[in-house]
């Protein structure tokens, strides 16, 4: 099966998970804590179960790594050349705040790179998707999908996108170096998608993220003509080490190195 043949089934799985998430969203729900003290809701778990069941039914069958089932030894997953990487509910804090800025994320990783990505924001049924070599697309509800591209930088202020729930001193120092800018704060993987569709020029991330937080939207950024680079200039890679934490990174248009140079010039920004 070609990678593109998996796209429609994965979108259908994401939509089923989105429906389950919205059902919880419309009710009163309890919030518990995981081992790392991050919040967990019934929506996270129901979405996880639906996605795993759906992906396990696809052919060919690939291993699955999900935020809610991530304790797979590196000794085992290091042998995977192709696998699914899932965040059943990215932006749980935003879900709890009921501000709509949360997503269901499903990515297919091959040779440490995302080759398919689906990001679905249940509110307001906003879908982004991409397959390697076939472009990136956006649709709302039943609208016809529209191809999206990163934007060329204009002469106006730099349009930055940042995390709504995870600011940092490193980001504050970086902002002091970029000149005039506008900063929009958004939750979840929607930050990547804002860059991919040309609504923002740069998303710098100096705080901790996990690989499932970034993979699906990373695929979309790549197919929209952008890049997700670590602060040494290399593309973000997946399943390369025992830890599933990402390094600091920048999301921006391909080939634009000025932000990388600014980040590297700040000795207090972690590489």
Q: Kindly list the distances between the CA atom of residue 117 and the CA atoms of 131, 153, 202, 259, in Å, as whole numbers in the listed order.
A: 7, 25, 20, 25
Tell me the per-residue pLDDT of 230-246, one tens digit each, with 9 for 90 and over: 988 899 999 999 999 99
Locate tokens 């697309």: which residue? Answer: 137
Return the percent helix, strand and coil in the chain, to nearest 5. Answer: 30, 30, 40
What are the tens digits of pLDDT across the range 13-28? 999 999 999 999 988 8
Which comes out higher in pLDDT, residue 169 or 125?
A: 125
Find all residues with CB under 8 Å of 119, minimum gap 6, and list them. 103, 104, 105, 127, 128, 129, 189, 190, 192, 193, 216, 217, 220
Distance CA 169, CA 175 (A): 10
Q: Is the peptide bond before 220 cis (omega within 30 degrees of 0)?
A: no
Residues 183-224 have pLDDT tens digits of 998 989 999 999 999 999 999 998 889 999 999 999 999 999
Domains of the chain, earliest start first: 3-147 (3.30.540.10), 158-265 (3.40.190.80)
Whether 199 contacts 205, CB under 8 Å: no
């Amino acid at each position: 099966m070609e990678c593109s043949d998996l796209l429609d089934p994965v979108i259908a799985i994401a939509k089923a998970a989105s429906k389950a998430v919205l059902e919880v969203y419309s009710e009163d729900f309890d919030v518990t804590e995981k081992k790392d003290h991050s919040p967990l809701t019934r929506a996270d778990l129901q979405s996880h179960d639906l996605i795993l069941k759906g992906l396990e039914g696809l052919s060919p069958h690939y291993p699955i790594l999900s935020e809610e089932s991530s304790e797979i030894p590196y000794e085992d997953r290091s042998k995977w050349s192709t696998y699914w990487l899932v965040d059943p509910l990215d932006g749980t804090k935003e879900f709890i705040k009921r501000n709509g800025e949360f997503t269901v994320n499903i990515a297919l990783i091959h040779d440490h790179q995302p080759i398919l990505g689906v990001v679905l924001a249940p509110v307001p049924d906003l879908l982004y998707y991409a397959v390697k070599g076939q472009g990136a697309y956006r649709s709302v509800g039943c609208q016809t999908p529209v191809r999206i591209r990163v934007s060329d930088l204009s002469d106006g202020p730099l349009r930055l996108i940042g995390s709504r729930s995870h600011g940092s001193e490193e980001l504050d120092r970086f902002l002091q170096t970029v000149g005039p800018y506008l900063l929009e704060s958004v939750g979840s993987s929607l930050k990547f998608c804002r860059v991919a569709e040309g609504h923002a020029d740069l998303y710098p991330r100096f705080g901790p993220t996990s690989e499932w937080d970034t993979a699906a939207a990373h695929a979309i950024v790549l197919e929209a003509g952008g890049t997700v680079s670590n602060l040494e200039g290399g593309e973000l890679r997946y399943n390369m080490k025992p830890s599933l934490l990402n390094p600091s990174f920048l999301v921006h248009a391909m080939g634009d190195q000025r932000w990388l140079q600014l980040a590297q010039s700040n000795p207090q920004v972690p590489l």
